[in-house]
Chains A and B, each alone.
Chain A
């Protein structure tokens, strides 16, 4: 498991392309912080809420893109490559889950300064921003799992791209259409604790299920190479 995770992380964190992705991610976050400096218009639609949702969407897109190979990082092995190796499906899925969790954690950690700035502008306590970051970690993890599974399940590049963006857009869009009581409120710094707890728990379950699906996909690939 550690071998698979180490391989993924080495590719994502030390290669030129992997680091470039992170640097661009950082630049995007800081631009978001700059735009979030705009004074809040009304109490119902503050700029902070919009910034929170953009942050969530960005983590989701980056997670699924890196996991599926949509953003191909040299040296990173997808499920079809690993299915030919001697690792058990559980080891492969476990390794992918670990690297996905750490990558999501890293993306969220890098967002902490920019989000703290936005929260600090509004005199929010640091615990609120920490809660916001924590709420995004399992979402990113689940979308890395989704991307990893799609990378193994859909062979055609074009179809895979289509599937990746459809799934992310569909899931987040469905939440957005929920209206005023959308669970997306959980990623707002001022979210109620119970909502945030349910959100984190729910997405953790989804992530675990998706990585279990990855193990099943490896078995399928081995049965039908």
Chain B
């Protein structure tokens, strides 16, 4: 707020102004997604890019590019989400037009602003975090409604969000949905007992203190009383760990190459022979070289395609029609060089591996461009939250399962440590046969992938009836409600 006030009160600027704040009141938790608030103001309308540059590892630079359409003389606030694995490096934010950089600012996070455990307290009245702060173990920061992120991912750097006041007219639609999505997918909200809702979100939060709120928890909290324990979410670092045996080594098709090279040799031999026989035959040599070059370039493109092993897996967890996708892609090329990976619109992306630099273009979809080192794997972790139409409900007595909003292919209903397999599931009710239950296979590919990608996977499988559907090598997980 202070930042915004300072910004708005500033005198007239002759050029584009950019100010930014990273994390929760400047506090960060390494290894997690963080909110990044950027304030921009331009004296004239501006079309270009906002570029956020970070260093996720040794010698690597990643640039996140967001399209920018700034009207003249009106400040704009952008809520972005940034993964911070190694926050020791600077975060550079710049505004670029087609031909130049028009504004730039650099954020540096001091080591004393890095925390192992973070709690944010929404409070307009300046009463502070109470006893939530635990010196040396947990940092509690006080924020205002406007500081709440628009992307649920940004909340994952918090252990908990405590709410003393929540003036909902200060929140936009995306902020409200982000908070709800975070709670539905495992977020932990503490609501002060004296809290009075000022809108539907507050009412929903109060209701969630007495009834289940998806995978998350909403609890009453006494600022002066004993503080609850931490929830804890898995660090991003663990999600992108790579085991060499899982990544196949690309092997070039030597047979195809040998045939292609033999063909090119023959073309050139004939061109040389023509030149040796007739003086004007030398005209054919450049043509022969051109044909051989074109043919071998096509062969090179085909070989390159065959030895590039892009692998993409994701698990989409759907809770109360809110889908959170956890994706992991590996990209490994025998020869390195430039590569592009397309991801769904709205995906937040983290890159790790051996690459000097990468750019993430956020337009209609998300396009990741990078230059890869030969034979070195590169990993993309992405997460995306969106609405979903699919939903499932299970009868409390275990007699039927109801699927709404679509159909599923091969699926498993996982419940109480047992699984029931379905070849396909159509919309509507499906009877559950008591004799069809089998013990849950720990080596099930969906379970293995889910355990690798989804935080708290085993807890979800233990506590809820879950419909696990296969979708082209990836998985949809419907956390079923009770009926």
Contacts and interface: CB of A to CB of B under 8 A. Distances in A.
B300 A40 contact: no
B269 A26 contact: yes
Interface stretch (B249-257, B437-445, B474-482): B249-257
Interface stretch (B68-76, B193-201, B330-338, B389-397): B330-338
Interface in B275-334: 275-276, 282, 285-286, 289, 292-293, 295-297, 299-301, 303-304, 307, 334
A38 interface: yes
B337 A122 contact: yes
Nearest to B307: A39
Contact of A110 (B262, B276, B289, B373): B289
Interface string A111-152: 011101111111110100000000000000000000000000
Interface residues of B, number: 43
Contacts of B375: 39-42
Contacts of A113: 264, 268, 289, 292-293, 295-296
A110 B293 contact: no
Contacts of A46: 336, 374
B248 to A, nearest CB: 12
Contact of B304 (A34, A42, A114, A121): A121
A40 B374 contact: yes
B422 interface: no
A43 B373 contact: yes
Contact of A19 (B272, B301, B374): B272
A121 B276 contact: no
A34 B296 contact: no
A114 B307 CA distance: 19
A109 interface: yes
Nearest to B260: A117
Report whether over half of chain A's contact residues are helix, strand or loop; otherwise say mixed.
Answer: helix
Given A34-B257, A34-B258, A41-B375, A116 B336 contact: no
Nearest to A117: B296
A133 to B, nearest CB: 11
Contact of B296 (A41, A109, A114): A114
B275 A13 contact: yes
Contacts of B254: 34, 37
B203 to A, nearest CB: 56
Interface of B: 249-252, 254, 257-258, 260-262, 264-265, 268-269, 272-273, 275-276, 282, 285-286, 289, 292-293, 295-297, 299-301, 303-304, 307, 334-338, 354, 373-376
What are the 5 tightest A-B residue pairs by CB atom distance, in nearest-first order? A120-B300, A40-B374, A123-B337, A39-B334, A113-B292
